[in-house]
């Protein structure tokens, strides 16, 4: 069966035997056509079963496997149990070395049953999907894009992540660092292809409204979402789809949260994000804008109003201040305030030399925005080292940045390496391993910064950075403006201080708040509020998990079936024809340097259609079972067809 015919089927999954709509109910692995609500609940149910299965297998070997739907292997472990108990009894009655060894080996089998059952209803996911915090099925939507099925591809992404156009522009794409294609070439442009299918699709309907109109059974429970950023809106959307009455409280007069307020136009055009926010806000949610938690209402008020759960997605809104700085009149600005003004369209007119303090993504955005706001020269000074090839959180290898181990992080600037490269390309200077210690002022305005070199960075027990400065290596930097962007932290003042928390889903910024004074209903915190500034896709994933958590708490376990699909050994290269051309990543259109530094126009213009299809076709579909080609067949195919002919015949 050719790849093309697979994609023509009712499902585009490799093992699918479904050929028409009538047969669709046979399959519970379907990612393409299940109702969105069922698809989400199925995902949640798989994870919950994965958590319970080892406990059951500890009681009775194999029970956890049965519970997860893996009946054959469960039966095997169960059959082992009487044998092992018999041997233990036999050893107890008449000890011998041989029986002891056998008994130990069967105990080992029992342990294996517990360990193996932790896989739950396992099915293979390609490394890109595993690396994605939102677990977006990258290989599926990339291949739908390769086949020209942009609408299907987009709706597949939307079923997991309601902001495809946004994420397709600003995601830090950990999926690409794990892409198998990158092992012998360049990674597939997974992130940009999301944007491509979004750009190519013009729909007259709201995807989520259509899902809601399929008929959702109201659950009769009210859940409050506090904060209308990506995490809060995602939670509100999925709670609504599950049948909850959802009220969204937001301190500002508009929805969107951090990306709407701080993401500059050259990175994320306002209209793209607004379109995606608006289609959630249109879904009959009870919207209460201009309501600040702690000022206009409290958690107790929410409970008194009859809500049964609260999801807090307030972001990390408190900027960290630096000593020795001053006021705006003196030439000192806060990075987040500066970005807010830039994004709102009334940015500060800068001139002369601008010094940005900080090494994170916000500092990079501030510097790049300062370049566009009229500054003659922009420098960034940061404690950390500027990443160099071979020694950064991403190593430079085969023309791409690749991630190094987490224990090395902290030495280097936390900004994404590709963003640092973009800033450098726009003329920003980076003064790494430096710290400002004081500022000179003339006529009430800042004129220069006195700095010291950083010898090394230590950490205190709370994980805060403690720079060790080299006293005899000082230098000064001229500065007409100083903009601080050294981070932001969650503000728990509405609770009187940071509460005790318990993680809900490992690896995601989602926690339950314990001992929340005055309320007895479940309270979750997610996104930046839970773990400090995180990525947008992590915030979105936390919102989705929060919705699943409330469903489980308030509506019980969903009725979904799970079918086990055995794991296959993956050798993706065997799945796919290879060639130097296929190892090369296609590039997006970008605007020229002069246009970049003088306007806020979006830097990336996305993919041209032909290049996008070729790029998508480079994906090796690592979730497909191994399909070995004989070397002879491979050889004859390579000499009889040109590479480009292969591409066009596949699309
Ligand atoms: S080649 Fe395709 S399926 Fe494999 S890791 Fe990369 S994007 Fe994922
Ligand atoms: S959301 Fe980000 S990490 Fe996930 S697949 Fe898309 S680009 Fe990759």
Q: Give the E-state strand segments of 216-345 in sequence order.
A: 222-226, 245-250, 286-289, 309-312, 318-319, 332-334
pLDDT band at 403 (very low <50, low <70, confident <90, very high): low
Ligand nearest to the CA of 139: 1
What pLDDT score does 193 carry? Answer: 96
- Give the whole-number percent of the chain exceeding pLDDT 90: 37
Q: Which class for 176: exposed (0-12), middle (13-18), buried (19 or more C-beta within 10 A)?
A: buried
Distance 179 CA to ligand 1 centre (A): 5
Q: Is the CB of 620 under 6 A from ligand 1?
A: yes
pLDDT band at 361 (very low <50, low <70, confident <90, very high): very high
Distance 324 CA to ligand 1 centre (A): 49
- Give the whole-number percent of the chain exceeding pLDDT 70: 80
Q: Rounded to whole angstroms, how far apart are CA atoms 507 and 541?
A: 10
What pLDDT score does 494 carry? Answer: 81
What pLDDT score does 189 carry? Answer: 95
| Residue 133 pLDDT > 70 | yes
Distance 188 CA to ligand 1 centre (A): 7
Higher-scoring residue by pLDDT: 1, 494: 494
Q: Which class for 463: exposed (0-12), middle (13-18), buried (19 or more C-beta within 10 A)?
A: exposed
pLDDT band at 223 (very low <50, low <70, confident <90, very high): very high
Q: Where are the domains of the chain?
A: 44-117, 207-317+490-555, 321-488
Mean pLDDT computed over 541-560:
84
pLDDT band at 635 (very low <50, low <70, confident <90, very high): low
- Those residues whose C-beta lies under 8 Å from the C-beta of residue 98, and which sit 6 or more positions away, are none
Mean pLDDT computed over 314-332:
85
Ligand nearest to the CA of 578: 1
Give me the architecture of the 321-488 domain, per CATH. Answer: 3-Layer(bba) Sandwich (3.50)
pTM of the model: 0.80
| Residue 1 pLDDT > 60 | no
Q: What confidence tens digit (pLDDT) does each residue in 449-488 have?
A: 999 998 888 877 776 778 888 877 789 999 999 999 988 8
What pLDDT score does 175 carry? Answer: 92
pLDDT band at 636 (very low <50, low <70, confident <90, very high): low
Distance 174 CA to ligand 1 centre (A): 12
- The tokens describing 335, both together, are 């990075």
Mean pLDDT computed over 309-336:
87
Mean pLDDT computed over 327-346:
90
What pLDDT score does 567 carry? Answer: 36
Q: What confidence tens digit (pLDDT) does each residue in 153-162 have?
A: 898 899 889 9
- Those residues whose C-beta lies under 8 Å from the C-beta of residue 390, and which sit 6 or more positions away, are 396
* Alpha-carbon dihedral 376, 335, 604, 578, rounded to 10 degrees: 120
Q: What confidence tens digit (pLDDT) does each residue in 171-202 have?
A: 999 899 888 888 777 889 999 999 999 999 98
What pLDDT score does 560 carry? Answer: 52
Q: Rounded to whole angstroms, how far apart are CA atoms 480 and 627?
A: 63
Higher-scoring residue by pLDDT: 424, 534: 424
Backbone angles phi, psi at 567, to 5 degrees: -75, 140
**Average per-residue pLDDT for the chain:** 80
Q: Which class for 260: exposed (0-12), middle (13-18), buried (19 or more C-beta within 10 A)?
A: buried
What pLDDT score does 342 carry? Answer: 93
Cβ atoms of 348 and 334 within 8 Å: the answer is no
What pLDDT score does 394 carry? Answer: 52
| Residue 569 pLDDT > 60 | no
Q: Which residues line ligand 2 (CB under 6 A)?
A: 132, 134, 136, 138, 167, 171, 173-175, 190-191, 194, 537
Query: Highest mean pLDDT: which of 25-34, 66-75, 413-422, 568-577?
Result: 413-422
Distance 215 CA to ligand 2 centre (A): 30
| Residue 4 pLDDT > 80 | no
Higher-scoring residue by pLDDT: 369, 143: 369
Distance 606 CA to ligand 1 centre (A): 20
Q: Is the CB of 175 under 6 A from ligand 1?
A: no
Q: Rounded to whole angstroms, how far apart are CA atoms 297 and 311?
A: 15
Buried-state track 107-130, b at ≥16 Cβ within 10 A, e below 16: eebbeebbebbebbbbbbbbbbbe
Q: Please tell me the CATH superfamily of domain 207-317+490-555, with its number.
A: FAD/NAD(P)-binding domain (3.50.50.60)
DSSP secondary structure of 60-112: STTHHHHHTT-HHHHHHHHHHHHHHHHHHHHHHHS--HHHHHHHHHHHHHHHH
Mean pLDDT computed over 82-103:
73
Mean pLDDT computed over 381-404:
61
Higher-scoring residue by pLDDT: 535, 460: 535
Among 306-320, 430-444, 455-469, 523-537, where is mean pLDDT lowest? 455-469
Given this chain, do its domains 207-317+490-555 and 321-488 carry the same CATH topology?
A: yes
| Residue 509 pLDDT > 60 | yes
Give the closest residue (by CA) to ligand 2 atom 4. Answer: 132
| Residue 30 pLDDT > 80 | no
Among 394-398, 473-477, 589-593, where is mean pLDDT lowest? 394-398
């Amino acid at each position: 069966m050719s790849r093309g015919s697979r994609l023509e089927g009712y499902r585009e999954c490799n093992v699918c035997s479904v050929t028409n709509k009538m047969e669709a109910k046979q399959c519970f692995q379907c990612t393409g056509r299940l109702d969105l609500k069922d698809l989400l609940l199925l995902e949640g149910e798989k994870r919950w079963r994965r958590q319970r299965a080892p406990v059951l297998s500890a009681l009775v070997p194999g029970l956890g496997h049965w519970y997860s739907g893996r009946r054959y292997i469960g039966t095997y472990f169960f059959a082992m149990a009487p044998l092992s108990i018999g041997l233990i009894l036999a050893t107890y009655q008449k000890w011998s070395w041989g029986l002891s060894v056998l008994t130990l080996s069967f105990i080992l089998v029992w342990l294996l049953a517990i360990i193996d059952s932790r896989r739950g209803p396992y099915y293979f996911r390609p490394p890109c999907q595993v690396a994605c915090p939102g677990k977006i099925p990258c290989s599926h939507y990339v291949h739908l894009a390769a086949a020209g099925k942009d609408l299907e591809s987009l709706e597949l992404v939307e079923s997991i992540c309601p902001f495809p156009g946004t994420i397709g522009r600003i995601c830090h794409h950990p999926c690409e660092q794990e892409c198998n294609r990158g092992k012998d070439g360049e990674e597939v442009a997974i992130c940009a292809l999301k944007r491509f299918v979004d750009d190519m699709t013009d729909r007259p309907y709201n995807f989520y409204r259509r899902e809601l109109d399929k008929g959702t059974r109201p659950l009769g429970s009210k859940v409050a979402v506090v904060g209308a950023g990506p995490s809060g809106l995602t939670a509100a959307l999925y709670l609504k789809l599950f049948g909850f009455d959802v009220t969204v409280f937001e301190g500002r007069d508009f929805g969107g949260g951090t990306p709407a307020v701080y993401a500059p136009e050259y990175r994320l055009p306002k209209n793209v994000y607004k379109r995606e926010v608006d289609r959630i806000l249109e879904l009959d949610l009870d919207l209460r804008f201009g309501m600040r938690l702690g000022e206009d209402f409290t958690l107790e008020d929410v409970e008194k109003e009859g809500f049964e759960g609260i999801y807090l997605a307030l972001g990390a809104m408190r900027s960290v201040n630096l000593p020795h700085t001053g006021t705006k009149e003196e030439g000192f600005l806060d990075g987040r305030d500066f970005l807010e003004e830039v994004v709102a369209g009334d940015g500060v007119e800068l001139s002369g030399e601008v010094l940005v303090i900080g090494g994170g993504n916000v500092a990079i955005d501030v510097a790049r925005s300062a370049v566009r706001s009229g500054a003659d020269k922009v420098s960034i000074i940061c404690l950390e080292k500027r990443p160099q090839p071979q020694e950064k959180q991403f190593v430079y290898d085969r023309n791409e940045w690749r991630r190094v181990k987490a224990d090395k992080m902290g030495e280097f600037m936390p900004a994404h390496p590709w963003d640092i490269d973009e800033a450098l390309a726009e003329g920003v200077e980076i003064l790494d391993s430096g710290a400002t210690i004081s500022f000179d002022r003339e006529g009430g305005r800042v004129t220069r910064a006195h700095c010291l070199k950083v010898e090394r960075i230590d950490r205190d027990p709370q994980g805060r950075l403690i720079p060790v400065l080299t006293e005899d290596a000082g230098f000064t930097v001229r500065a007409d403006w100083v903009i601080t962007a050294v981070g932001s932290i969650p503000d728990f003042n509405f609770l009187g201080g940071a509460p005790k928390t318990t993680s809900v889903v490992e690896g995601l910024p989602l926690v339950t708040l314990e001992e929340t004074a005055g309320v007895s209903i479940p309270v979750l915190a997610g996104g930046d509020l839970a773990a400090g500034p995180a990525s947008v896709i992590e915030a979105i994933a936390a919102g989705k998990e929060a919705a699943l958590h409330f469903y489980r708490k308030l509506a019980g376990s969903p009725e979904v079936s799970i079918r086990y699909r055995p794991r296959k050994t993956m050798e993706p290269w065997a799945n796919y024809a290879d060639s130097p051309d296929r190892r090369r990543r296609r590039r997006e259109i970008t605007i020229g340097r002069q246009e970049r530094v003088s306007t806020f126009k979006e830097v990336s213009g996305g993919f041209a259609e032909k290049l996008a299809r070729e790029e998508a076709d480079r994906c090796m579909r690592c979730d497909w079972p191994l399909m070995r080609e004989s070397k002879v067949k491979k050889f004859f195919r390579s000499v009889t067809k040109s590479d480009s002919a292969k591409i066009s015949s596949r699309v």
